[in-house]
Amino acid sequence: WCEQLCTGAVVLRRFALAHEAAILTALDGITGAAPLRHMITPGGFRMSVAMTNCGRYGWVTDRTGYRYDTTDPASGKPWPGMPEVFLALAQAAASSAGFDGFTPDACLINRYEPGTRLSLHQDRNERDFDAPIVSVSLGIPAVFQFGGARREDKPMRVPLTHGDVVVWGGPARLRYHGVLPLKEATHPLVGHHRINLTFRKAA
């Protein structure tokens, strides 16, 4: 249930499964207070992935650029707090991959529907690239693209399904990555979507 993709990236198959009910309940609370929305890229495109955040910092994009913000631009209020079950899961996953003391202050919540993709990019808006990123996949399956240090490097395809957790640290932290367009599918608890929780240390 644990695979090393390359130095730094660890896949923990079904790691989140034991807590799926508590995670989904907490998620309903978050999306009730800070609804999922399609943000606009600096280039003016509407993202096909719907997003929201919890924790002290939330990742946002609009015409002025990408950034972390302590308030939800849609409401002007702080983002919902990070639920204890989220924090505990992220810390346990990080520890399993060798990162003790991971203290995420940001959780980006991505919701994909069939046909939706995330094009190749790097995560570079965080202050500290030494901290890992922990990502939790829920709902319908996706094929993750795990690339190299350069955009031109041919990505590996990594299938991710409900409950899988990946810890991206060390040399994997700054690799190019994306998600291929999702196939039509339904998950018994999550329905028509893939949800990804991305835990980061933003500040």
The footprint of ligand MD5 (CB under 6 A) covers 108, 110, 118, 123, 133, 135, 146, 168, 172-173, 175, 177, 179, 196, 198
138 binds, among ligand MD5, Fe ion, none (CB under 5 to 8 A by kind): none
Write out 6-50 in H/E/C secondary structure.
Answer: ECCEEEECCCCHHHHHHHHHHHHHHHHHCCCECCECCCCCECCCE
Nearer to Fe ion, 123 or 126 (CB): 123
Q: Are 42 and 48 in contact (CB under 8 A)?
A: no
133 binds, among Fe ion, ligand MD5, none (CB under 5 to 8 A by kind): ligand MD5
Nearer to Fe ion, 95 or 122 (CB): 122
Residues 6+ apart with CB under 8 A from 130: 173
Query: Which residues, 67 to 126, sit near Fe ion by CB under 5 A?
Result: 123
Nearer to ligand MD5, 33 or 47 (CB): 47
Q: Are 194 and 136 in contact (CB under 8 A)?
A: no
For residues 93 and 107, give the distance between their C-alpha atoms in angstroms, rounded to a whole number.
14
172 binds, among Fe ion, ligand MD5, none (CB under 5 to 8 A by kind): ligand MD5
168 binds, among Fe ion, ligand MD5, none (CB under 5 to 8 A by kind): ligand MD5
